Structure 1
Amino acid sequence: MNDMLKTTPDFSIDDAKSLLAEHYGLDGLLSPLDSERDQNFKVVANNGGVYILKIVNAGEPLVESEFQTALLGHIGQHAPDLPVPHLWPTTSGSSLAETTSAHGVRHLLRLVGWVPGLPLAQSARSENALTSLGRLLGRFDEALQGFMHPGALRDLDWNIRNAGRSADRLQHIDGTEDRALLKRFLARFETVVEPKLPKLRSTVIHNDANDWNVLVADDDHDRIAGLIDLGDALYAPVIAEVAIAAAYAGLDHADPIGAAAAIVRGFHAEYPLLEEEIDLLFDLIAMRLVTSVTISASRHAHTGGNPYLAISEKPAWTLLRKMDAMNPRFATVILRHACGFEAAPGAHAVTAWIAANRKSLRPLLDKPAATYPAALVPYADPKHPMTVASAGERPNEAQAIWEAYCSERGVDLGIGPWGEARTVYSGEMFVSRLIEKTRRTRHLGLDLFMAAGTRLYTPLAATVVSVEIEPDPLGYGCLIALRHEPEGCPAFVTLWGHLAHEALGRLKAGDRLEAGALVGEMGASTENGGWAPHLHLQISTDTRLSATEILGVGEARYLDVWAELFPDALTYAGIAPEFYAKTGRSHEEIVKQRKELLVPNLSISYDKPIKFVRGNGVWLIDDSGRAYLDCFNNVCHIGHAHPAVVEAMARQAATLNTNTRYLHDNIVTYAERLTATLPKELTVAGFVNSGSEANGLALRMMRAHTCRENAIVLDWAYHGTTQELIDISPYKFQRKGGKGQKPHIHVAPVPDSYRAPADWPLEEHGKRYAESVADLIAAMQAKGEGPGFFIAESIPSVAGQVFLPDGYLKEVYRMVREVGGICIADEVQVGFGRVGSHWWAFEEQGVTPDIVTMGKPIGNGHPLAAVVTTREIANSFNNGMEYFNTFGGNPVSCAVGLAVLDVIEGQDLRHNALEIGNYLMAGFRALQERHEVIGDVRGMGLFLGVELVTDRKTKAPATDFARAVSNGARRRGVLMGTEGPHDNVLKMRPPMIFSKRDADHLLAVLEETFEAVAAKS
């Protein structure tokens, strides 16, 4: 130190003034500035300029002075606009001057321009100011890329590479706890950081951006106006510049990591950082502080209380203690986020994979979570009794309040959403370790509330990471962590909290769980931390975090950061996003406006109408986010919103849509593909927009070919909405509002084997029912007339899912054709592979119609329908009258039709329909054995019916029971209908993509509903 005192300049103001005049030709007012090693004077010159005169410590090696000069010269040449001190040459044009003190010691002089502004230390250090500081440092370091000088390679303790030397100064630290704290940081530096430093990018950096060397604009404290004192500049890792600035910015800051993030954000905008640099930043910030407090401690005995050395020692210790209490990974996530990097590598890929594969995830509960009637748990309301009870640690009361809440609203599942602000987190464990005087109040998991003992299953295969008990009040109780590594997705962890303790004896770390395997049960309040029974489910994209390290509750300030690290488990759990926000008109308003604006006899399904807002595969989602398994709406043949159909529709609509008067590939390509699915006799297609239009066109063709009007139809048949189709639909004309049977309409009984006379042998059902058609033909012939056509659904649907007895159509077709009539197969509901064994249901009867009509499934919800007939009938129809349909067969509709065929063929959905249909039939028969009310089950592929009777012998229809089952299934999240003359047949027509899991869900709901309805009967 004595040597240092000899070399430290000690010039008076008058001496300095003389030196200024001698070497720079300037005169003015001088005032001294604080400095540790050199002597600095502020100069307000008479010429109006403001400068700093530096008299350099004689102990400074010449190479360092030359380095400072070269550094300032480089900046002046390459970044003259940087607000840093710029060199002022001597009167001889030199960058440095020289003088000798009264003691005979030689000193160098340097004059630089004054940078105006207020020290950052004297401002509020706003986030904008710190971001501005980061930008300036980024510009500074970017300007120094490629610059090097031997003087930059100084071996200083302040070089971040030498931070490990602090271990040699620990002897000067008073207090065992303080030494232990520094040892922890030093150990991390030695093992985690130091080995990586040689591989990091390096350049010449300022190396001392403390808040006295940083200036804010006098008129705008949010803007950094200058960076001064380049005396500590050296060659070091680029990230050290950020670490040093962040260390000083964090002193006495309520949110030191937030301050660091602001600097990082600004620096990265000017000089992009690398992920491997950011990942070391937390430790480098800490090591700057460790270096500072150990150097300060080692000099205490010699400095005489030098305020320059000790100015930041106390706040540095405070900040070190704060950082020691933090989880470095959480701090690093915040810093990564400031640069736009993922919270954890692969975090975005995890959430994208879950979203893309949501349909393949197994249900987390006994049924898919979205199918339960659900409501928000009122924890967001600080005055709600349940919130008050929980905050007061009265779990039994909270549980009772929740159960009453559910009972009042018909709710089976309570949902506590991700990100919700809650007041119940009152314990010390919820105090933030990142931000002073702040509580963690934002929920970072998804809560599912059901009864204690509710079983919980993993949606994905997993390996058990840990099973532990957290006994603290308001803690997790039994806590399980699972690691998932699905193909094509980065590994991630799910956390399952508030479980029953039974899992502790059943699972252990390393156990393998297959998708759908039991994880645990919701714990009672006595074992789940004192809460109402529920599951806290959370995803962590950082697999290095242990179960107890994963934050279940976070700070509101960093909610966007936590959203990446701990993304919402909503999709993973199978909850629809619509649950959180209803849109559009209320149910009551829509019903009212329908009555006012629409035809009054427009019907609404179910005793409690549903408002659907989205379709997805086999599911329909209502405006509350509840998902319903669609077993009824066979319009969406290959599933709601099928991506192949949507893409084909959008692509063609964005290119061209016009009518058939112009040439286009799509219509002939589609006609070619469609007719290829039919018997060879059926070769000519006509395209329309609906099944009704298709049947109407078929009648026009029939009249042109036969010149007759007489029709033979089946009782209870329905063929469309136009008047001529109502006239051939007994389902309509025989019921309320109908005008009765017209003379040219001849109705044959429905060939229903289940209700055939008991004395008819089963093998003769087809022949016996066909005799009624023969009688109708005979009656017509007695009048000198004959039938123009026979029309029937290949499987009568409205009549109650009736499957025609063997040989029926073959016999009827023969008889009709023999007397000059033609045969029309209405395949609007049953075609396109629904029966599984064939493309068309009539093929099951071994017949070929003269005309086939199709609609509904043909366009998967798009208004597309078709008629396919023989060349002979088509020629008859070509009678000189033009056939034109504005929208029928347009390019968009045909593109959709082609997409539907591609999916059916490409995914072998006919085989799926056959396989799942057989599985369901077996399930229905098993139900029949347990429930006397089931009189008959029937089905082919995915066209299914269950007839309910009050007595199996008399077969008296159980109409009320059937309606109760239909409505009960709807309340349990499954859509089906009732049909038949007595409305006693459960009608099911699921999408062709129906899976075994979907079938199991349907069977389970039916079982539960049958039992519930029977219990009330």
Structure 2
Amino acid sequence: MNDMLKTTPDFTIEEAQALLAQHFGLNAALTPLDSERDQNFKVSAGDGRSYILKIINAAEPEIESDFQTALLAHLGARADTLPVPHLQPALSGESLATTSARSGLVHRLRLVSWIEGMPLAQSERTDAALRSLGHMLGRFDASLKGFMHPGALRDLDWDIRNAGRSAGRLLHVADPQDRALLQRFIDRFEERIAPRLPMLRSAVIHNDANDWNVLVGEDDRNRISGIIDFGDALYTPVMAEVAIAAAYAGLDHPDPIGAAAAIANGYHAEYPLLEEEVDLLFDLIAMRLVTSVTISASRRAHTGGNPYLAISERPAWALLRKLDAMNPRFATAILRKACGFEAVAGARAVGAWIDRNRKNLLALLDRPAAAYAADIVPYGDPAHSMTVNSAAARPHEAQSVWTEHCRGTGVELGIGPWGEARTVYSGEMFVSRLLEKTRRSRHLGLDLFKAAGTKVYTPLAATVASVEIETDPLGYGCLVALRHEPEGCPPFLTLWGHLAHEAVGRLKAGDTLEAGALVGEMGAPEENGGWAPHLHLQICTDTGLSASEILGVGEERYLDVWSELFPDASAFAGVAPEFYEQTGRTHEEIVRLRKDLLLSNLSISYEKPIKFVRGEGVWLIDDRGRAYLDCFNNVCHIGHAHPAVVEAIARQAATLNTNTRYLHDNIVAYAERLTSTLPKELAIAAFANSGSEANSLALRLMRAHTGRENALVLDWAYHGTTQELIDLSAYKFRRKGGRGPKSHVHVAAVPDSYHAPADWPAEEHGKRFAEDIAELIAAMRARGEAPGFFLAESIPSVAGQVFLPDGYLKEVYRMVRDAGGVCIADEVQVGFGRVGSHWWAFETQGVVPDVVTMGKPIGAGHPLAAVVTTREIAASFDNGMEYFNTFGGNPVSCAAGLAVLDVIEGEDLRRNALEIGNYLLAAFRSMQERYEVIGDIRGLGLFLGIELVSDRSTKAPATEIARAVSNGARQRGVLMGTEGPHDNVLKMRPPMIFSKRDADHLIAVLAETFEAVLARAG
């Protein structure tokens, strides 16, 4: 460098003007420009055009001058619109001219076009300006693709590949702390970065896009108007271009990583970067600064001080200290995100996997989080601060604040959402290391508030990564980190904070936890950092971070980055998305509109109505995100929104839907599959849209075959909504609004063994109850009449989940057929394997009906129904009158029906129904031993009933208690109903996919509800 200073040109303005005229034919005014080793003049020609005259240092090797000349020539040919200096040839036609100075030194001359604008150093470095700089550098480097020159292969200390040489200049840095700071960056560079540089893409780049070499528009300071000074251009890794520009842009910038991200974003749009390049950017920025300050220190040592060389040293040191305080992984995540990459590789896959598999994750609390009545914890309200006043040392107050908030609201679980803005984070520990004068205020975890001692379990198998105690005020207290490696998902961490200290003695790093294993207990304020008892749960997709490095609170500016590094744990914890965002009309508005627009006798379930917005498996989710275990709605037979049914409906609806007058595979395929589940005698099918239509069609079949109208039905039966079915449903015509039985309707007693006369032997119940039918037939014969049909649910449902006594149907069917009647089995509620032991409930009685009707579960929510009968009855119905149903048997409905059968068979749901049903019955019988109010337990498969009585000896109905239990279970997130003549039978018909885990949840809620209801009843 000293040699270069000795050979610096020193021409007067007059001498330079003469050289300009001699070699370039221009007579113009010249203005001197600053330069370190050359001599530069602004040329203002008379025609209004401007140029730069460069008189090159005599010591500059000719190859370097030729390199710059070739580079400029390449740009002129390949990118003539790029706002960079363009060569103006000398009168000789050459790109360079040569002259001698008074000293005898030979200097070369170059004339290039002037670029209008002001230095970026003199303008505000807005995000827009820095993005524009990135775009400009990307265009510049893209235009140099394929360009090479021997001069580009020179050896420069400013080459990023030589940044490690800074270690040899550390001796010129006087302060030992400063040397240690630089050494940390150099060590990282040598260990992690330098070995990877040879594998990066390399090309000729500008290599010195500092803010004095970058110009902004005079009229638009957010637009880069030009790039100048190619004196440091060389062949090196492409990524150095972004790193150098970012290093200078970050000087005295309040958000240096944001500045780098803006440049990288713009560059990437013009010259796409690779992930492995962006991953090195933070360290390359730092090493450019290390190179700068060590070179400045070295030069000062040799020259005794040089203000020009030291012009950027102070802000460079300040920026190095900022970078040293940052976590490089966070900075890199910001830079990756700016280029459109994931904040960390695999981050999005983790979130997607959790979302896809959330139904299979075990409950984090004693029951799924969505099953609790929940509310947002009011962190934003200073009057409800969830922290403890440490100065007052009253940790008990934190719990009382939360208790007060919940009192009277029925809230069981408090939730502190991800991303929530919180003013409570006021300590020094929350000051941002990325942004100046900024506090981290955005919550990056999910808080679940319950009482101290509440146990929390891992929803997914894990390995314990660490267990530690944070003693800082407002820290985590006991902190556990788990590592999860589920199949088909990148590994990720979960952080469990504010736990009781008991976990430290129970868990250690390396321990394996099965899904559902205990992680810990929510800690009390005195051991959880001074907070109201709660769990801070956080997901971390960067497994390279330690527990203490994971940010629990982040900067709002980078919330999009944190959302990938630390995605919302709500799905992992079982919180429904509807909890955070309510849509549609309010409950009150819907109730009012129902009254105004719908039939007034359209009832609403429960004392406090529920607005459901989504169904999923065994759960119904309301508009507040609360999930209710559905033990009642048997229409969604294989679970709500089963993907196989949804897909089948969507696929067929997108292809074709038409009526049965045209040929289609689906209707015959479904008829074949459906009849194969029935006894061979039942071979002919017809399709409709509802159970009511199916039962009405069954009556038409009966009339065509027998010519009769007389009906034999059971008391408290229900068969459909049409008038002729209401006339056959004692549940309707014997209640308010009904007009009693019509003359052709003959009602037999419900064959309810629990309420059979005490003197009847149990083995004779079927025969004794059948005598009622015999008497009705005898009365008809006495009048010269005969029964047309016997219609009964194979398990009377609204009568109170009544299971027919053994032999009942066999005896009744014999008598009816002997009298010339037809036997119709209503399987609308109980068919399709619900009983588990058989496909159809009538099979449990060892009979084969003449007609079977089906509906409700047949399409798992899709409107579909069917009637299956014998060939003989079908022949009678073929009397010349066409049976046509516009929608019955259409391709879409049959596709849904086929999917339901596929799922029942493919997932072995009949076996599941029987096993889970038996498990529940055993649990209910155990409850019966504890609670006198339980008079009878009955059920088969997943068709279950619990009859409640006020006195077991008299079997008097406990109607109010039954309703209280049903409503109490609803309040605790479980749906069931009450049925029977006195509404005292708890009715449960859960989906066929009901699991043991679901059953345990039902059992726990029922027990808790019985305890609460009976305690109130005294």
- TM-score, L = length of structure 2: 0.99
1:382 shift after superposition: 4.2
CA contact (8 A) 1:348 1:564 kept: yes
Structure 1: unaligned runs, 5 residues or longer: none
1:46 shift after superposition: 2.1
For 2:306 and 2:49, the matched residues in 1 are separated by: 31
Say which is worse superposed, 349-358 or 931-940, in terms of deviation.
931-940
Percent identity, aligned pairs only, is 79
Q: Which residue in 2 is equivalent to 1:934?
A: 934
CA contact (8 A) 2:492 2:543 kept: yes
CA contact (8 A) 1:479 1:495 kept: yes
Q: Which residue in 2 is equivalent to 1:213?
A: 213
Q: Which residue in 1 is equivalent to 2:598?
A: 598
Question: In the alignment, is residue 199 of structure 1 matched against residue 180 of structure 2?
Answer: no
Q: Which residue in 1 is equivalent to 2:880?
A: 880
CA contact (8 A) 1:351 1:567 kept: yes
For 2:667 and 2:539, the matched residues in 1 are separated by: 49
Deviations 1:833-862 (A, max 9, x none): 111111111111111111100100011111
CA contact (8 A) 1:684 1:874 kept: yes
* SS class of match (1:380): coil
CA contact (8 A) 1:690 1:863 kept: yes
1:902 shift after superposition: 1.3
For 1:547 and 1:392, the matched residues in 2 are separated by: 30
For 1:876 and 1:344, the matched residues in 2 are separated by: 72
- Indicate how the Cα distance of structure 1 residues 730 and 330 shifts in structure 2: closer, same or farther if over 3 A, else same: same
1:391 shift after superposition: 11
Say which is worse superposed, 759-768 or 860-869, in terms of deviation.
759-768
Question: In the alignment, is residue 464 of structure 1 matched against residue 450 of structure 2?
Answer: no
1:951 shift after superposition: 2.1
Q: Which residue in 1 is equivalent to 2:622?
A: 622
1:335 shift after superposition: 0.1
Q: Which residue in 2 is equivalent to 1:698?
A: 698
1:5 shift after superposition: 3.1
Superposition map of 1:317-332 within 5 A: 317-332=317-332
* SS class of match (2:640): coil
Superposition map of 1:487-506 within 5 A: 487-506=487-506
* SS class of match (1:419): coil
Q: Which residue in 1 is equivalent to 2:365?
A: 365
Deviations 1:651-709 (A, max 9, x none): 22222222222222221221111111111111111111111111111111111111111
Structure 2: unaligned runs, 5 residues or longer: none
* SS class of match (1:481): strand
Say which is worse superposed, 56-65 or 326-335, in terms of deviation.
56-65
For 1:923 and 1:84, the matched residues in 2 are separated by: 83
Q: Which residue in 2 is equivalent to 1:273?
A: 273
For 1:660 and 1:275, the matched residues in 2 are separated by: 57
1:389 shift after superposition: 6.1
Q: Which residue in 2 is equivalent to 1:256?
A: 256
1:385 shift after superposition: 5.4
Question: In the alignment, is residue 446 of structure 1 matched against residue 446 of structure 2?
Answer: yes
Deviations 1:322-353 (A, max 9, x none): 00000000000000000111111111111011
For 2:951 and 2:2, the matched residues in 1 are separated by: 114
Question: In the alignment, is residue 682 of structure 1 matched against residue 682 of structure 2?
Answer: yes
CA contact (8 A) 1:414 1:450 kept: yes
Q: Which residue in 1 is equivalent to 2:126?
A: 126
Superposition map of 1:222-261 within 5 A: 222-261=222-261
Kindly provide the amino acid, as one letter, of the partner of residue 28 in structure 1. A
For 1:850 and 1:833, the matched residues in 2 are separated by: 19
Q: Which residue in 1 is equivalent to 2:664?
A: 664
For 2:819 and 2:486, the matched residues in 1 are separated by: 65
For 2:216 and 2:97, the matched residues in 1 are separated by: 31
For 2:2 and 2:989, the matched residues in 1 are separated by: 97
For 2:118 and 2:253, the matched residues in 1 are separated by: 19
Say which is worse superposed, 649-658 or 366-375, in terms of deviation.
649-658
For 1:283 and 1:382, the matched residues in 2 are separated by: 42
Superposition map of 1:319-398 within 5 A: 319-382=319-382, 384=384, 386=386, 395-398=395-398
Q: Which residue in 2 is equivalent to 1:415?
A: 415
1:528 shift after superposition: 0.7
Superposition map of 1:126-145 within 5 A: 126-145=126-145
For 1:508 and 1:156, the matched residues in 2 are separated by: 52
* SS class of match (2:686): strand
For 2:605 and 2:548, the matched residues in 1 are separated by: 49
* SS class of match (1:147): coil
CA contact (8 A) 1:371 1:972 kept: yes
Question: In the alignment, is residue 989 of structure 1 matched against residue 1018 of structure 2?
Answer: no
- TM-score, L = length of structure 1: 0.99
For 1:34 and 1:394, the matched residues in 2 are separated by: 66
Superposition map of 1:964-1003 within 5 A: 964-1003=964-1003
* SS class of match (2:167): helix
For 1:446 and 1:252, the matched residues in 2 are separated by: 36
Kindly provide the amino acid, as one letter, of the partner of residue 786 in structure 1. A
* SS class of match (2:362): coil
1:815 shift after superposition: 0.7
- Indicate how the Cα distance of structure 1 residues 929 and 388 shifts in structure 2: closer, same or farther if over 3 A, else same: closer
Q: Which residue in 2 is equivalent to 1:477?
A: 477
CA contact (8 A) 2:538 2:569 kept: yes
Q: Which residue in 2 is equivalent to 1:776?
A: 776
CA contact (8 A) 1:35 1:308 kept: no
Q: Which residue in 2 is equivalent to 1:525?
A: 525
1:396 shift after superposition: 3.1
1:279 shift after superposition: 0.7
CA contact (8 A) 2:54 2:109 kept: yes
For 1:115 and 1:248, the matched residues in 2 are separated by: 21
RMSD over aligned Cα atoms: 1.3
For 1:1009 and 1:381, the matched residues in 2 are separated by: 34
Question: In the alignment, is residue 655 of structure 1 matched against residue 641 of structure 2?
Answer: no
For 1:389 and 1:648, the matched residues in 2 are separated by: 59
Question: In the alignment, is residue 761 of structure 1 matched against residue 761 of structure 2?
Answer: yes
For 1:759 and 1:495, the matched residues in 2 are separated by: 65
CA contact (8 A) 2:794 2:830 kept: yes
Kindly provide the amino acid, as one letter, of the partner of residue 809 in structure 1. L
For 1:748 and 1:758, the matched residues in 2 are separated by: 19
For 1:581 and 1:497, the matched residues in 2 are separated by: 26
Kindly provide the amino acid, as one letter, of the partner of residue 488 in structure 1. G
Deviations 1:368-403 (A, max 9, x none): 110100000011234545579699986433321210
Q: Which residue in 1 is equivalent to 2:816?
A: 816
Kindly provide the amino acid, as one letter, of the partner of residue 526 in structure 1. E
Q: Which residue in 1 is equivalent to 2:833?
A: 833
Superposition map of 1:915-930 within 5 A: 915-930=915-930
Kindly provide the amino acid, as one letter, of the partner of residue 157 in structure 1. D
For 1:835 and 1:490, the matched residues in 2 are separated by: 42
Kindly provide the amino acid, as one letter, of the partner of residue 180 in structure 1. A
Q: Which residue in 1 is equivalent to 2:728?
A: 728
Deviations 1:892-931 (A, max 9, x none): 1111111111111111111111111111111111111221
CA contact (8 A) 1:43 1:52 kept: yes
For 2:963 and 2:721, the matched residues in 1 are separated by: 25
1:952 shift after superposition: 2.0
Q: Which residue in 1 is equivalent to 2:166?
A: 166
CA contact (8 A) 1:618 1:630 kept: yes
For 2:221 and 2:678, the matched residues in 1 are separated by: 80
CA contact (8 A) 2:388 2:395 kept: no
For 2:478 and 2:397, the matched residues in 1 are separated by: 21
For 1:562 and 1:390, the matched residues in 2 are separated by: 30
For 1:339 and 1:907, the matched residues in 2 are separated by: 45
CA contact (8 A) 1:628 1:973 kept: yes
Say which is worse superposed, 376-385 or 780-789, in terms of deviation.
376-385
- Indicate how the Cα distance of structure 1 residues 464 and 387 shifts in structure 2: closer, same or farther if over 3 A, else same: closer
Q: Which residue in 2 is equivalent to 1:70?
A: 70
Q: Which residue in 1 is equivalent to 2:547?
A: 547
For 2:392 and 2:691, the matched residues in 1 are separated by: 63
Deviations 1:186-241 (A, max 9, x none): 11011011111111110011000000000011111111110000000001100000
1:146 shift after superposition: 1.4
- Indicate how the Cα distance of structure 1 residues 472 and 701 shifts in structure 2: closer, same or farther if over 3 A, else same: same
CA contact (8 A) 2:445 2:568 kept: yes
Deviations 1:945-981 (A, max 9, x none): 1111122222221111111111110000000001111
- Indicate how the Cα distance of structure 1 residues 549 and 392 shifts in structure 2: closer, same or farther if over 3 A, else same: farther
Say which is worse superposed, 565-574 or 760-769, in terms of deviation.
760-769
For 2:713 and 2:540, the matched residues in 1 are separated by: 63
